[in-house]
Each structure stands twice: as C-alpha cells, then as structure tokens.
Amino acid sequence: MSGPTRDTVAPPTGDMSAAEFRRFGHEIVDWIANYFEHIEELPVLAQIEPGDLKAQLPASPPEAGEPMATILADVDRLIVPALTHWSHPSFFAYFATSTSAPGIFGELLSAAFDVKSMLWRTSPASTELEEVTLDWLRQMLGLDAGMSGFIYDTASVSSMHAIAAAREGVELRIREEGMSGRKDLPLLRVYASEQAHSSIDKGIITLGLRQRSLRKIPTDKEFRMDAKALADAIDEDKRNRILPFCVVATVGTTSTSSIDPVPAIVEICEQHKLWLHVDAAYGGALLFGNRFRDKLRGVEAADSLSIDFHKLLWQPIPCSAFLLRDARHFDTIKLHADYLNPENHEDEGIPNLVTTSLLTSRRFDALKLWISFQALGRAKLAAMIDCTIELATHAAEVIRNSPRLELVCAPELSTVIFRFVPSHAEIDANRLNAALRQHLFDHGIAVIGHTRVHNRQCLKLTLMNPTVREEQIQLLLRTVADHGEQMERDWSAV
Ligand code: PLP
C-alpha cells in the first residue's frame, strides 16, 4: 500500500503548502467580506430549478485533485446561484437568522484546531470554554447558580435529552430495565401545547415512549398553553392511572412566537412534582436584556432549558445550549468506556464531557460563542435582540395602518403574522395569500414565511436580521399590498 509521499504532502495541513494556504485563506476572507458588502445585490432566492445544480456537477468523483483557484471559481459559478441567502435583508422566512462576524471567525478557528472535545485531556480549552461560556450565559440570563449543561448542535437534541432526564425521575428503572417487554409500566405522559415544536414529538418517539405519551394541551386565543386545560389533563390522566412526568413549555413558538404562561405552569408542575422543560430555542434570547425579560417570567424555575444560539443569537449553525438545574440528572446517561473514559482513570473533579453528554466527539462550538460574547458583550447582544423586536413592532404598526392587510397576531417576539384581505367575498383568501407568497418568490422580491392560523392561510415575517431597516419593511409591505390588489383584479377579471 502506498501512502502519501513527501512530494504530495506539503505543510501546513499536509495537503496544501503554507504559501497557498495563506493565499487562498486571504482570498476566501476577502470573498466573504465582499459577499456581505454586496449581498443586497444578489437575488435572495436561489435562481435554479430542482436538479439544476446536480446536472452541472460530474456524476462521479474526481480521481485527481483540481487547483484551488478552479474550485473557488466553481463556488461563484455553481454554488452561489444555488443559494438562498439567509443573511439577505429580503429574507424573512423560517427563523431568518443572519450570522455574525465573531461567529464566523470562531468557526474558522475551530475548524483549524479541529479538536474533538470529548475528554478534558484531549481538549482542555474546549471543555473549559464550554463550561465558562455556559456559565456566562446562565448569568446573562439571570438563572440560578448551579445550572449547567452542554453545548449541543440543536434544540431538538437538547429537548430529547431533557425528556430522557425527566423520565428517570419516575423511578421505574428505565435506564437499567428499558421499556420494551415490560408489563409493569403505565403509560407515561408528557404535556406540551398544541403549538409545541415537532422536535418534542420526535424526541418522544426516539426515546421509545409511545406517541400517545405526548398529550397536546389546547391553547388560548393567543396560542399560549391553556394552564387550566393542563391542570385538568393531569388530573384526568392520574384518575386513569396514566403517569405524568414532564411538561414542556414553549417560550416563542415556531408558528406564531406565542409564549406559554410559565408561572402558572410552574405552579402546576410543583403541585404534581413534574419536570418542567422550557423550550426557549427561539424566545430565550429575551432574557439577555431588561426590556422584554418580563415576558419570560417563571423560566428561571425550569428543571431544564434549551436555547438556540443559531436563532436570535447570531451564531453560525450549529450552536445550542442545554441547561439542567440539578447536575445529578446528568447521571441519566452517564457511562464509562474502557477505551475512552474508564471509570477508574477519571481524575477527580476533572470534567470529561463525553461521560454525561449524548455526544462523543463534539465540536469546539464554545470558541465561537466565547469570541462572540467577548466581541459583542451582553449589552450589544441585548440591543440587537431589542432591535429585532422593535422591527417586528414597527412592521405590525405598518400592517395595522394598511387598509388591505390584516395583522393576525401581534408580535410577541420578532415574528409578524398577517394576511392580505381581498375586498371581494368570492375570492378565496387562503388561495390568494398562498399565491401572493409564491408571487414574491417568483419575482425575487422577498422570501417570506407562511403559517396557518385558525385554519386561515397567513403570511409571516420573521425579523431576526438586525441590519434590516424600517424603510425596507415598509417597502415590502406596500409591495405585498400592491401585488395583492393586482392579483385580486386579475382573478376577478377571469
Ligand atoms: N423549538 C422551537 C420553538 C423551534 O422553533 C425550533 C426550530 O425551529 C426547535 C425547537 C428546533 O430547533 P433546532 O432546529 O435547533 O433543533
């Protein structure tokens, strides 16, 4: 077998000379700076049809490498037109997150270090930065000392870990005995509102709990969990020998950004000794500042919390925090392996993240977080978050003042739900709003979201990019109203 020779292997990374590394590294950073400077000039939506990119790429892998300059030219020629630009000021769909310069630098450096942060010994900086950044987070959010956790890739993983930890609280020895084939287990129950994110359902399925284990609690007219309905559901389940063990409250739901009434839910959880997981993937950011933190009252009592840095906190994906109130619950999945973290080799008090986290190899995401926290500081982050909420408030005001638009939900966070209101009763408003959104896509005007509220098709703006200006929002909403009127005229004429 022939391995790499001295001719083919060049420093510094074994695949490229130092001179080339510098040249292309600088070129790429310049390229990125230009990308952001000119992003507004790019069409926000990918300019291709399904399959177009694949058709332009060779069907089989290259046998010999190509020059880096050719590959970078291909990024411009092939990849950029196939991108929908999430950091574009006309991108308002899903969680319209934009990244941040410190976050990008952190990604670059962590790719260079490429440490796999499972053991302290293999990655002291990563292990300790993860502890420090999460503790800084805890302090910035005003949470109790002692809350600690992990940086995971996504809130989906955090919520699954939270439900697994909660399940151990029922003392049915599920860790040791499992669930399959056991006749002694009652139906275990988790409660979440009918607006909770699908990752809660998926966590339940993955954990081997039956889908029936998740009871969806109705919401009030503002899409917040109905606390009275929760209390009634728990009582009813107990009467039917179903075993409640966990409630998931959402602060910032995906569809409308509603915030569950956490203080009332905390009371119910305390009364029934249930674990409270707060899915703060989206809304947790409000705790960074003082202006809106009252909306999240009660969150500090959670047993566990997930919060995404790749949503309102401008980190390049992935980056999500999982915090547990009582570190003893990390034992839920605590394991030692002879080849990795043998029990008797573990130094007293030295944390090996692999022992209690779901992941073995883990990214050095704490680096980008640490760089971002240092570069921006809590105050700037809080101001950026406030700014997105002000943009949403402004958008809502513009919609309220527009005779052709209806504000469907007042924004709790940075999400605005609205619709175009046809003036002719015979026009199907649902169809028209769906077509209107498509029209904005087709004409490259903007990428906006959609959702159904009370069975009505709605348009949705998520205003998470702090570089967006109020004038851009006004222009977009005027364009939506104008195009809606035009479409209505066209449809009426048919
Ligand atoms: N929870 C809420 C409220 C969400 O809106 C989302 C994602 O959109 C998630 C959880 C899942 O987040 P992630 O993509 O980080 O798994």
Let me know if residue 391 belongs to a domain: no
Q: For residue 362, what pLDDT band results from cuts at 50, 70 and 90?
A: very high
The CATH number of whichever domain residue 268 belongs to comes to 3.40.640.10
148 lines ligand 1 (CB under 6 A): no
Ligand 1: residue of 224, 251, 282, 415 to mutate (most ligand atoms within 8 A of CB) is 282
pLDDT at site 38: 96
Domain boundary among 350, 376, 402: 376
> Same structural domain for residues 118 and 49?
no
Ligand 1: residue of 94, 95, 150, 156 to mutate (most ligand atoms within 8 A of CB) is 156
pLDDT at site 351: 86
pLDDT at site 47: 86
Q: Mean of the pLDDT values across residues 94-99?
A: 84
Q: Whose CA is nearest to atom 8 of ligand 1?
A: 254
Average per-residue pLDDT in the chain?
Answer: 93
Rounded-to-integer distance, Cα 249 and Cα 228, Å: 14
pLDDT at site 438: 95
pLDDT at site 171: 86
Q: Which of 469, 154, 462 is nearest to 315 (CA)?
A: 154
pLDDT at site 255: 93
Provide the residue range defining the domain that includes 56: 22-89
> Same structural domain for residues 370 and 244?
yes
Domain boundary among 35, 54, 89: 89
Let me know if residue 340 belongs to a domain: yes
Q: For residue 483, what pLDDT band results from cuts at 50, 70 and 90?
A: very high
Q: Which has more confidence, 17 or 259?
A: 259
pLDDT at site 97: 77
What pLDDT, in 10s, does the model give residues 296-333? 999 999 999 999 999 989 999 999 999 999 999 999 99
What pLDDT, in 10s, does the model give residues 374-409? 999 999 999 999 999 999 999 999 999 999 999 999
pLDDT at site 350: 81
Q: Whose CA is nearest to atom 14 of ligand 1?
A: 154
107 lines ligand 1 (CB under 6 A): no
Q: For residue 9, what pLDDT band results from cuts at 50, 70 and 90?
A: low
Let me know if residue 419 belongs to a domain: no
> Same structural domain for residues 117 and 26?
no
Q: For the chain, what percent of residues have pLDDT higher than 90?
A: 86
Lowest mean pLDDT across 2-16, 158-172, 424-438: 2-16
253 lines ligand 1 (CB under 6 A): yes
Let me know if residue 259 belongs to a domain: yes
153 lines ligand 1 (CB under 6 A): no
Domain boundary among 376, 403, 434: 376
What pLDDT, in 10s, does the model give residues 281-296? 999 999 998 899 999 9
Atom of ligand 1 nearest to the CA of 94: 8
Lowest mean pLDDT across 97-111, 333-347, 349-363: 333-347
What is the tally of structural domains in the chain?
2
Atom of ligand 1 nearest to the CA of 253: 3
Rounded-to-integer distance, Cα 460 and Cα 91, Å: 11
pLDDT at site 8: 53
Direct distance between the N- and C-terminal alpha carbons of the chain, in angstroms, rounded to an integer: 73
The CATH number of whichever domain residue 83 belongs to comes to 1.20.1340.10
156 lines ligand 1 (CB under 6 A): yes
Q: For residue 1, what pLDDT band results from cuts at 50, 70 and 90?
A: very low
Phi and psi at 440, nearest 5°, equal -65, -40
468's CB contacts (< 8 A; 6+ apart) are: 89, 391
Cis peptide before 89 (omega within 30 of 0): no
315 lines ligand 1 (CB under 6 A): no
**pLDDT at residue 205 greater than cutoff 50:** yes
97 lines ligand 1 (CB under 6 A): no
> Same structural domain for residues 302 and 333?
yes
Q: Which has more confidence, 408 or 425?
A: 408
> Same structural domain for residues 54 and 148?
no
CA of 322 to the centre of ligand 1 (A): 13
